[in-house]
Amino acid sequence: MAEVKRRRYTEEFMMEAARLGRESAHPVAQVARDMGIPDNMLYRWTAQNRQGEAHGTTRAAQRAEAEELARVKRELARVTQERDFSRRAAAFFARESR
């Protein structure tokens, strides 16, 4: 089976494509075809740009915030697991010492 490689796009390309999608007189699907990208991708980039502008942030800032949130959630899960293990170990040794 052939491997499918994901195309990577620069932040500048995504922002420019979203701007063209919004400002063009042509439909977004036509702009996407002209640029050689799937139309659903251009719709998503446009929506993300619109959302970022509404919140006063850029796509890069949103992505960094999402990555930080994911990192914090992983760290919380690890610390919670360690805490639970310590509680179980303390309870086990408390039972054994009686």
Cα–Cα distance, 35 to 29 (Å, whole number): 10
Cα–Cα distance, 22 to 70 (Å, whole number): 30
Cα–Cα distance, 18 to 28 (Å, whole number): 9
Average pLDDT, the chain: 88
Residue 9 phi, psi dihedral angles, 5° rounding: -120, 145
Q: What residues of the chain score a pLDDT lower than 70? A: 1
For residue 93, the one-letter residue type is F
Cα–Cα distance, 86 to 92 (Å, whole number): 10
Q: In this predicted structure, what is the pLDDT of residue 71? A: 97
How large a percentage of the chain has pLDDT more than 90?
39
The dihedral of CA 46, 49, 51, 54: what is its sign?
negative
